[in-house]
Structure 1
Amino acid sequence: MNPIDLLKSAFLGLVEGITEWLPISSTGHMILVDEFVKLNVTEEFWNMFLVVIQLGAILSVCVLYFHQLNPFSPSKGKEGRRATWSLWGKIVVGCIPAAVIGLPLDDFMDEHFHNSYVVAGALIVYGIAFILIENWRARRRSEMVAERPHGAHFAPGVTDDLAEKDSDFGAITSVDEVTYKTAIGIGCFQVLSLVPGTSRSGSTIIGGLLLGCTRAVAAEFTFFLAIPVMFGASLLKIVKFMLKGAAMSANEWGIMLVGLVVAFVVSLVAIKWLTGFVRKHDFKVFGWYRIVLGVVVLAFFLVIAPALGIA
């Protein structure tokens, strides 16, 4: 196995572990990184690797939320088990739009949209969307602060003397309060992530915010929604890889394993950080990051690269 390729794979796992959960597009970043960090692999393997590496990130959700997602937990009573099965039902319902629309378009999106220009455009467009949505939420919060009775609050555990610092508000303050209608609505927003650079987590978080979820609930439901979606997407890529008669070399096996392990470990940290961050801060910082990155990418490929003769 090539140690340089393993180091590159570890770097890609780091990028995946961070960007899978932050609303800045993991696939978009992976495509952009590939412009500068090239692996010595076949094109078929790279297309599969882009998706399958996300399994490492998804497994971190299964570990961190194992008790909440486990309907067979001995510490749960009848009501607890019923609530867990209901949550899984909403997760499955939320995945239906992506499955119905995404499966037929998978090959088309790979062939026509996996490039730096599409990624840059999506980064900018959804960066602007995050800023506009958070500004709208800020106005709504100001109106609600003025109208609410003394002692009321928006998020669980926030007392009146902390109310002015409470910026995470919404009608849906717990994942258990997400209805099937809201779940499928968020699932429809997830379809937007078929375009590289949009961000699966970003599109579902935007959907959750617009449908009345607090930022914490929107982020948490996004974590859960990723489990069947990414397991299904990974299985689809593996099957397509095998049907083409392709086989992984020893070097590619090593690259895949290193990428998965690093993505898993980094995701554990990223998820814990994000869940704490969104309770006290809005998503505008991610919106500005997306816009700046998108502009830099466009400038590089439209101006700098041609000037250097590398485009």
Structure 2
Amino acid sequence: MTWFEVVVLAIVEGLTEFLPVSSTGHMIIVTALMGISPTAFVKLFTIAIQLGTILSVLVLYYKRFFRSLTFYYKLAVAAVPAAVLGFLFSDAIDGLLESPLIVGISLVIGGVILLFVDKWFNKPRIDDSDEISYGQALKIGLFQCLALIPGTSRSASTIVGGMTQHLSRKAAAEFSFFLAIPMMFGATLLKLKDHFEDGNGLSGAEINQLIVGNVIGFIVAIVAIKSFIGVVSKYGFKAFGWYRIIVGGIIIALLISGHSLQII
């Protein structure tokens, strides 16, 4: 990878990971436009830089992580369904991950849902994610399972799941951020394990690129999270719905026109 590619991919990851727009869909478009080959290191890089985005949540909401152990129990309950399904159906999920068309279709369908979600769930009763029950946490976790379909967006599925449980837009978005931490951390560790078990190593230059990518992802994610909370609290999700439809449409159009797209 060139340093320019490192910077661009890190910015895309930081911007899209916590927004309901599918970071996978954006990676497909960016890597296709830049002609980035899906080498072993590129695949590792796009996952490992999630550590920087995880750190952004810990920094922005550090006080939340010291309130009580109950908070961690609820996160664990919400994380279980996707972890179990991901383990049981890993082969089927890997098959889906090979289809950019599924990503494009999922983006469009999810975008249509976001156009109406503010009207469907417009009577929130919970404005602090700490107030949710274990049952509600589990139901949000079940919604997160939808994110096993590429292009659905983990953030979008958990935010919508939170709104179905009467969380405000702000509370649903914040719980989605917190729930991302165990899922993304686990995915990063698994990717690192697979990378080295496949006989791949890391050169000094690649280690430097991972460090820089994480730093950039961390900074960009902080800005993205702060901006996102302000936008959805005031305006809702309609703009993100239209954006998803456009991005999904671009992917489908590129495939129809004969472009070879790959999921990294």
Structure 1 runs not aligned, ≥5 long: 71-80, 142-168, 307-311
Report if aligned partners of 1:32, 1:116 keep a CA contact under 8 Å in 2: no
CA distance in 2 between counterparts of 1:96 and 1:110 reads 19
Q: Distance in 2 between matches of 1:193 and 1:115?
A: 15
Match of residue 288 from structure 1: 242
1:21-46: CA deviations, max 9, x gaps?
11001122112221122446x63222
Structure 1 residue identity aligned to 2:198: K
Q: 2-side partners of 1:257 and 1:15: how far apart? A: 16
CA contact (8 A) 2:159 2:169 kept: yes
Q: How far off is 1:275 after superposition? A: 1.5
Residues 1:303 and 2:239 aligned together? no
- TM-score, reference length from structure 2: 0.92
1:61-120 per-position Cα deviation (integer Å, ceiling 9, x unaligned): 0111112212xxxxxxxxxx4xx2111110111100111011343454334423321211
Of 112, 115, 118, 1:131 maps to 115
Percentage identity across aligned positions? 42
TM-score (norm 1): 0.78
What is residue 103 of structure 2 aligned with on the other side?
119
Read off the aligned partner of 1:89 and give its amino acid letter.
Answer: Y
Cα distance in 2 for residues equivalent to 1:33 and 1:115: 16
- Comparing 281-290 with 98-107, greater Cα deviation is found at 98-107
Whose radius of gyration is greater, 1 or 2?
A: 1
- Structure 1 residues 237 and 304, CA, compared in 2 at 3 Å: closer, same or farther? closer
- Please list every run of at least 4 consecutive aligned residues from structure 1 whose deviation after the TM superposition is greater than 4 angstroms: none
Residue in 1 that maps onto 2:53: 57
CA offset digits 1:141-189 (Å, max 9, x no partner)? 4xxxxxxxxxxxxxxxxxxxxxxxxxxx402221121111111111111
What is aligned with 1:162? none
From 213, 216, 222, the equivalent of 1:259 is 213
Pick closer, same or farther for the CA change 1:39–1:302 going to 2, 3 Å: closer
Counterpart check, 1:37 vs 2:62:
no
Give the corresponding residue for 2:76. 92
Residue type of the alignment partner of 1:267: A
**CA–CA distance in structure 1, aligned partners of residues 77 and 85 of structure 2:** 14
How far the C-alpha of 1:282 sits from its partner, in A, is 0.9
Q: Which position in structure 2 is the counterpart of 1:105?
A: 89
Q: CA RMSD in A?
A: 1.9
Q: Which amino acid aligns with 2:197?
A: L
Matched, 1:198 2:152: yes
- State the distance in 2 between where 1:197 and 1:189 align: 14
8 A contact 2:96–2:102 mirrored in 1: no
Paired residue secondary structure (2:235): coil
Q: Which one is further off, 99-108 or 87-96?
A: 99-108
- Within the candidate set 174, 191, 195, 2:128 is matched to 174
C-alpha contact 1:6 1:258 (8 A) present in aligned 2? no
The one-letter amino acid of 1:263's match is: G
Retained in 2: the 8 A contact 1:49–1:256? yes
Inter-partner Cα distance in structure 2 for 1:13 and 1:56 = 9
